[in-house]
Structure formats: C-alpha cells, structure tokens
Amino acid sequence: MTRVLRLGGLGLYYGLLLLPIYWMLNMSLRSNADIMGAFSLYPTDPNLANYVKIFTDEVWYSGYINSIIYVSLNTVISLTVALPAAYAFSRYRFLGDKHMFFWLLTNRMAPPAVFLLPFFQLYSTLGLIDTHIAVALAHTLFNVPLAVWILEGFMSGVPREIDEMAYIDGYSFPRFFATVFVPLVRTGIGVTAFFCFMFSWVELLLARTLTTTDAKPIAATMTRTVSAMGLDWGLLAAAGVLTIVPGALVIWFVRNYIAKGFALGRV
C-alpha cells in the first residue's frame, strides 16, 4: 500500500466513523424542539442544558457511578480468572479441554430475553439483587469466555521454548507467569481489558433486571427518557456522549499495552 493510499483510506474511514458521533454531539447541544424542528449542520444556538440536567439529576449521575463500579469490578474479576485458564488451554492438554473451551463460548450464544427471569430468581434467592457485585458477576457469564478466548489466542503466539527456558533457569510458576509471561502477552491483556469493559458497559438487559435503585446503571436510566411527549432526543444524545468518556479513558490507558507488542529479545 503506498503511503498516500493508506493514509487517504484511513482518513476516509475515520471521517465516516466520526459523522454519527458528530451528529450525536450536535444533538446533545440542542433542545428537543430544536432537533425535531429543523435540520442544521451545526447547533445554531448551542447550550449545555442537557448536560446540566444530567450532572444535576441525581438519578443520572449516580447511574454513571454505578456503571463504573460494576464494570470495573467485572473487568478485574474477568481478567483475573481468565489469565490462568487461558494459559492452561494454551499450554496443556487435559481431560475435556476442547469441550470446555468451546462450552465457554456457548454462554454467549443464547438470546437473553427469556433468561432474564431465571437470572432474577437466582440472584434474588441469593439476596444479591441491586448490588454492584451481582451485575459484575452476571456479566462474567459473557466476558470471561471472551477473555479466555482472546488471551488464549495471544498466549499461543508466545513460543513454548520461553516457558521451558524459564523452568530450566529455576523460575517458579507464579514468578515466571508474573515477570516473564504476562509482559509478553500484554497486547492481549490490553485488548481484553478494553473489551471486557466495553461489553459490560453497554449491557443493558441484565444490568436493568438485576438492579432496582442502588446499583442502577446509566444505560437503564437512559431508557427512561421517554415521556409523554416522546423521547427526549437531546438528553439522550448528551447521555450518549457522556457514556463514551470512561471507555475512551480505558482504551487510552491501555494503549501502550495494545500497541507496543513485544520484542522477544533479552529473555
């Protein structure tokens, strides 16, 4: 690919990608009446009323905080349990390994609607309704398989000779894993962390089902913007803009994990 073609194509894609985002930003700075009234390329009378509403309405910003709490919990849990499991799938053959690996993914294959009720009943029996840990735990259902699959893929790219060398050099498994292996798969860890965050962040049904008030997430609050006059488009758009921020921060934090890859030297 010549450089011009490459940059031109990329620029075109980025531009197209940004259009709906820009439109959302546009809508967020206008009132509902303004949006529905006329087309305008940029807000002629921009105001932050929608944002103010969100920041001052306790229901809105607590929803924000709730989401951040359970999503962070979930990401940490998912990564923690997935790392050793992915290593096992990558390096070892054991009884039922292929079946187990595929079974994990099957947990992402069911349409959620009908499962919501039994989920509610299960967590209700355990007294976990309306807690952050409930949603965090429930989300591991689809995030842990994802994490294991992605991490396994990256781990399999690390030659097993590295492991063997470390054992010959006398490393214990925990020390090898923490100091040698994890840095080598940090690309996979970075991208996994982001995806766990993202999928948990946008998940609406389970989060709404398992919470009532204390742990209610932002996404659920957003579906309440239907009033007698219909949807409040401006408010929804502002909320949409705000929901991007935490995730953008996450990927910015893991950017070096994702982009730096690894240099298999000086082992």
Partner 1 sequence: MDKWEDNRAWFLVLPVFVVVAFSAIIPLMTVVNYSVQDIFGPGQRVFVGTEWFADALSDRRLHEALWRQFLFSGLVLVIEIPLGVLIALAMPKRGLGVPFSLVLLALPLLIPWNVIGTIWIIFTRPDIGLLGVTINGLGIPFDHTASPLDAWITVVAMEVWHWTPLVALLAYAGLRAIPEAYFQAARIDGASAWATFRYVLLPKLRGVLTIAILLRFMDSFLIYAEPFVLTGGGPGNATTFLSIHLVKMAVGQFDLGPAAAFSLIYFLIVLLFSWLFYQALQNVGQGERR
Partner 2 sequence: MARIALEQVAHAYAEHPRSDAEWALKDLDQVWEDGGAYALLGPSGCGKTTLLNVISGLIAPRRGRILFDGRDVTGLRTEQRNIAQVFQFPVVYDTMTVFDNLAFPLRNRRIDETRVRSRVAEVAEMLDLAEVLGRRARRLTADAKQKISLGRGLVREDVAAILFDEPLTVIDPGLKWQLRRKLKEVHKRRRLTLIYVTHDQNEALTFADRVAVMNEGRVLQVGTPQALFERPAHRFVGYFIGSPGMNFVPCVVEGDAALVAGARLPLAEEALAAARVATGRIELGVRPEHLRLAVEPAKGAAEVTVRAVEDLGTYRIVTIALGEHVLKAKLAADRPVPAGAAYLSVPPAAARLYAGGRLIG
**CB nearer to partner 1: pick between 22 and 179:** 22
266 binds, options partner 2, partner 1, none, Cβ within 5 to 8 A by partner type: partner 2
List of residues 6+ apart from 185 with CB closer than 8 A? 151, 154, 155, 158, 262
Residues 132-161 interacting with partner 1 (rule: CB under 8 A): 137-138, 140-141, 144-146, 148-150, 152-154, 156-157, 159-160
User: What is the per-residue DSSP string for 146-215?
Assistant: HHHHHHHHHHTTS-HHHHHHHHHTT--HHHIIIIIIHHHTHHHHHHHHHHHHHHHHH--HHHHHT-SSTT
Site string for partner 1, 174-193 (x = CB under 8 A): -----------x-xx-xx--
CB under 8 A: which stretch of 48-56, 58-66, 232-240 binds partner 1?
232-240
Closest approach, Cβ 162 to partner 2, in A, equals 7
C-beta of 159 vs 183, nearer to partner 2: 159
Task: Return all residues near 155 (Cβ < 8 A) that are at least 6 apart.
Answer: 86, 87, 90, 91, 181, 185, 188
Stretch of 13-21, 45-53, 55-63 lying at the interface with partner 1 (CB under 8 A): 13-21
Please pick, from the candidates 44, 59, 108, 230, the single residue that binds partner 1 as defined by CB under 8 A. 108
As a whole number of angstroms, the distance between CA 3 and CA 27 comes to: 36
Contact 45, 34 (CB under 8 A): yes
Contact of 211 with 129, CB cutoff 8 Å: yes
Q: Among partner 1, partner 2, none, what binds residue 165 when CB lies within 5 to 8 Å by partner kind?
A: partner 2
Nearer CB in complex with partner 2: 114/263: 263
- How many whole angstroms separate alpha carbon 201 and alpha carbon 227? 25
Minimum distance of partner 1 from residue 52's CB (angstroms) = 19
Near partner 1 by CB under 8 A, which window of 49-57, 58-66, 111-119? 111-119
Pairwise CA distance, residues 164 & 213, whole Å = 52
The interface with partner 1 within residues 43-82 (CB under 8 A) comprises: 77, 80-82
Binding site for partner 2 (CB under 8 A): 159, 161-162, 164-165, 168, 264-267
Helix (H) or strand (E) holding 227: strand 226-227
In the bound state with partner 2, the residue whose beta carbon lies nearer, of 164 and 214, is 164
- Kindly write down the DSSP assignment for every residue of 17-66, as one continuous string: HHHHHHHHHHHHTS-HHHHHH---SS-SS---HHHHHHHH-HHHHHHHHH
The CB-of-12 to partner 1 minimum distance in angstroms stands at 10
Among 110, 172, 212, 224, the residue binding partner 1 under the rule CB under 8 A is 110
